[in-house]
Amino acid sequence: MSDDLTRDALRYHAEPVPGKLATALTKPCSTQAELSLAYTPGVAAPVRAIAEEPLDAFRYTGRGNLVGVISNGTAVLGLGNTGPLASKPVMEGKAVLFKQFADIDVFDIEVEAEDPDDFVETVARLGPTFGGINLEDIAAPACFDIERRLAERMDIPVFHDDQHGTAVIVAAGLLNALELQGKALADARIVCLGAGAAGIASMNLLLNLGARAENLRLVDRKGVIHAGRDDLNQWKSAFAVETADRTLEDALSGADVFIGVSGPDLLTREMVASMAAGPVVFALSNPDPEIRPEVARAVRDDLILATGRTDYPNQVNNVLGFPFIFRGALDVRASAINVPMTTAAVRALAELAREPVPSEVLTAYGRDDLAFGPDYIIPTPFDPRLGERVPAAVARAAVDSGVARVELPARYQT
Secondary structure of 116-177 in the HEC alphabet?
HHHHHHHHHCCHHHCCEEEECCCCCCHHHHHHHHHHHHCCCCEEEHHHHHHHHHHHHHHHHH
* Residue 80 CA neighbour count, 13 Å, CB half: 2
72 in a labelled binding site:
no
In terms of Cα–Cα distance, which of 279, 289, 314 is closest to 191?
279
**DSSP string over 388-406:** HHHHHHHHHHHHHTT--SS
- Find the binding residues for ligand CC(=O)C(=O)O in span 203-222 (CB under 6 A): none
162 contacts ligand CC(=O)C(=O)O (rule: CB under 6 A): yes
- Find the binding residues for ligand CC(=O)C(=O)O in span 17-46 (CB under 6 A): none
| DSSP 8-state assignment for residue 214 | G
Q: Pick the closer one to ligand CC(=O)C(=O)O by CB: 166 or 181.
A: 166
The residue from 203, 261, 267, 353 that contacts ligand NDP (CB under 6 A) is: 261
137 contacts ligand CC(=O)C(=O)O (rule: CB under 6 A): yes
Query: What is the rounded distance in angstroms from the CA atom of residue 29 to the CA atom of residue 52?
Result: 27
Q: Which does 263 bind (CB under 5 to 8 A by kind): Mg ion, ligand CC(=O)C(=O)O, ligand NDP, none?
A: ligand NDP
208 in a labelled binding site:
no
- Find the binding residues for ligand CC(=O)C(=O)O in span 306-325 (CB under 6 A): 308, 317-318
204 contacts ligand NDP (rule: CB under 6 A): no
Give φ, ψ of 245 to 5 degrees: -65, 135
Query: What is the rounded distance in angstroms from the CA atom of residue 383 to the CA atom of residue 215?
Result: 34
The residue from 147, 162, 256, 383 that contacts Mg ion (CB under 5 A) is: 162
Would residue 412 show up in a list of annotated catalytic residues for this protein? Answer: no
Q: Which does 116 bind (CB under 5 to 8 A by kind): ligand NDP, Mg ion, ligand CC(=O)C(=O)O, none?
A: none
Q: How far is CA 376 from the centre of its chain?
A: 19
Q: How far is the CB of 306 from ligand CC(=O)C(=O)O (least distance, A)?
A: 13
How many CB atoms neighbour CB 309 within 10 A?
19
Whether residue 128 contacts residue 61, with contact meaning beta carbons closer than 8 Å, is answered with no
Q: Which does 321 bind (CB under 5 to 8 A by kind): ligand CC(=O)C(=O)O, ligand NDP, Mg ion, none?
A: none
Q: Pick the closer one to ligand CC(=O)C(=O)O by CB: 204 or 317.
A: 317
Would residue 39 show up in a list of annotated catalytic residues for this protein? Answer: yes
Query: What is the rounded distance in angstroms from the CA atom of residue 154 to the CA atom of residue 156?
Result: 6
204 in a labelled binding site:
no
Residue 9, by phi and psi: left (phi above 0), alpha (psi -120 to 50) or beta?
A: alpha
Stretch 134-173: interaction string toward ligand NDP, x if CB under 6 A: -----xx---------------------x---x-------
| Contacts (Cβ under 8 Å, ≥6 apart) of 82 | 73, 76
77 contacts ligand CC(=O)C(=O)O (rule: CB under 6 A): yes
Catalytic residue among 20, 27, 39, 365: 39
Query: What is the rounded distance in angstroms from the CA atom of residue 125 to the CA atom of residue 293?
Result: 44
Catalytic site residues?
39, 94
Q: Given the rule CB under 6 A, which residues bind ligand CC(=O)C(=O)O?
A: 77, 137, 161-162, 286, 308, 317-318
From the annotation, which residues make up the binding site for (S)-malate? 286, 317
